[in-house]
């Protein structure tokens, strides 16, 4: 079960949610303020990201949820 990271655009709270594949952000609410459908972050597995730079490193064939064929 993949771990997704979300960030609430209202209060800025960041949190991680374990979701099954296919579940969307609409199933998630911010645990801090209760806002539904927060923004999904794609910087998984790396907690050393300072700032919101383009830290999207899509490693080809890097396992994960590549079940879309």
Please provide residue 39's backbone torsions phi and psi, each rounded to the nearest 5 degrees.
Answer: -80, 130
Of the CA atoms within 13 Å of residue 37, those in its CB half-sphere come to 2
Neighbouring-strand partners of residue 5: 16, 41
SS3 13: coil
Q: Report if residue 35 touches Zn ion, rule: CB under 5 A.
A: yes
Q: Report if residue 28 touches Zn ion, rule: CB under 5 A.
A: no
Q: How far is the CB of 62 from Zn ion (least distance, A)?
A: 30
Q: Return the number of the residue (8 or 22) whose C-beta is nearest Zn ion.
A: 8
Q: Report if residue 32 touches Zn ion, rule: CB under 5 A.
A: yes
Q: Report if residue 10 touches Zn ion, rule: CB under 5 A.
A: yes
Q: Report if residue 14 touches Zn ion, rule: CB under 5 A.
A: no
């Amino acid at each position: 079960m993949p771990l997704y990271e979300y960030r609430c655009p209202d209060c800025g709270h960041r949190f991680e949610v374990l979701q099954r594949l296919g579940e969307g952000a609409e199933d998630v609410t911010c645990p801090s303020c209760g806002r539904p459908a927060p923004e999904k972050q794609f910087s998984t597995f790396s907690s050393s990201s300072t700032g919101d730079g383009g830290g999207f490193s899509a490693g080809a064939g890097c396992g994960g949820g590549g079940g879309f064929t």
